[in-house]
Structures are given as C-alpha cells and as structure tokens.
Amino acid sequence: MFPATRTELLPYLQKHWKALALLVIGILLPLLLVMDLTEDVFSHHGFSWDASILSWWRSQRTPQLTALAEALGVIGGVKVLPFITLAVALLLARFDAKVHGWFLVMSVAGASLINVLAKLIFQRPRPDELGAVLVEKGFSFPSGHTMANAAFGIALAFIFWSSPRTRIIGILGILWGVLVGLSRNYLGVHYPTDVLVGFLTSLAWVAGLRLLMRQRWPKLERAPETASRAKVLSD
C-alpha cells in the first residue's frame, strides 16, 4: 500500500492525497486537539472561558430562543434522532445507496457509544444547575447531544459532498450539528469544552470510519445519485 522507494512517493501522493488529507485534517488534528483540551480540563480544572461563555449565553436568553433550543434538544435527543437516522438510511437504501445508509447508522451509533464510554471514564459534573434552563441527568463531558448530531451531520456531509447537486444537504447537516451543540451551551447543561471536544471526537470517528469503509466499498466516495448512475452505466 505504501511506496517502497522515493521514486514512487510522488505518484503515491498524487493518487492518495485525498485520503492522506482526510487522515491528517479529519482524524489526527481533531484527536490531538481533543487530547490537549481533555488534559487541560482535568489537569487544570478547565478553562476560565468555559464559565464566561456560559454567562454570555445566559444574558442572551429570550423565551423564543429558549423554546428553539429546547426543540433542538428534543429532536437531537435519544428519543427522536435514532428514528431520523434510520429513516434517512432507509431512504438512501431506496436510492441504491445501502452502503451510505449503513455508514450513516454506524457513524451515529459509534459516536453515541464512544460518548457513553467517555462519560463513564471522565465523570465531569454538569455546570451549576442554578444557571441552567434544564436539569439534565448524567455526566457532562463530552456532550452526548453534540457527538450524536455532529456525527449525523458530518456523515451526511461525507455522503453528499461529492455532488454539487446534493452538497447543500451536507452543509445543512454540519450546520445542524453545530446548532445542536450551541443549544446545549445556551441551555446551560454543558460547558463549551464539552461541546467542542464532542464535535471534534465525532469528526475523528466519522472520518476514520469512512476511510475504513471505503476500502471495502469504493462507491462510498460518490454521492448516492452519482453512485446510482455509475451502476446503471456499468450494467
């Protein structure tokens, strides 16, 4: 797989530069940031800007924004998001994109499992309940809502980005993950570092999963409509 000599290096880089870029930008850099942030959170008792940002969000609260943030939490929560994920996966399957559907399901399920394990390991208490709109159970680090919805949105971006016609779906998916994460800070149920680490962890997980799956299913590199058209042409 890797070049044996220097003369083979340039052709190798030209052929695999996308995969190498994804490895560095999508996996290695996020993981390095996650490790650095996690060490600072638990070795130095967090960051001062954690509390400052939460205080700023409290000053921005309105009944309308609070209702919106709560709705995002419900839609992106464990009672709704799994069904949305399955519905999208089934829709992808109908368009001859079963691999893309499995990739989406595994992205969200894997991120959720990683979150459960991380919370059991780190056991960071949630922010002061007196400043929160909601009282949430469980530990704070990293944000479960952020991880699951970021995985959902990032997976959609990977699925649809290669086609200009469907790229908007990927953009909206990423925006969805960001909005859900910000809503957790707005509601006061997570520190900003919970959300940031959650998003970066999901990015690394989904990017790594895509690198592995596309080795077995190359069609994952193409958007569903493009993949379907390629199959029709080959038939």
Domain boundaries along the sequence of the chain: 51-227
Q: Tell me yes or no: is domain 51-227 CATH 1.20.144.
A: yes
Residue with tokens 């059991």: 120
Backbone angles phi, psi at 16, to 5 degrees: -115, 20
Dihedral, CA of residue 197, residue 203, residue 205 and residue 208, to nearest 10: -140
Kindly list the catalytic residues: 145, 190
Q: Which amino acid is at 208?
A: G
Digit-by-digit pLDDT tens for the chain (235 residues) are 455 556 666 665 566 556 667 666 777 777 777 787 888 777 776 778 888 899 899 999 999 999 999 999 999 999 999 999 999 999 999 988 999 999 999 999 999 999 999 999 888 888 876 677 888 888 889 999 999 999 999 999 999 998 899 999 999 999 999 999 999 999 999 999 999 999 999 999 999 999 888 888 888 888 887 544 544 334 4
Helix (H) or strand (E) run with residue 55 in it: helix 48-59
CA atoms in the 13 A half-sphere facing the CB of 13: 6
CA nearest to 115, candidates 36, 48, 25, 204 = 204
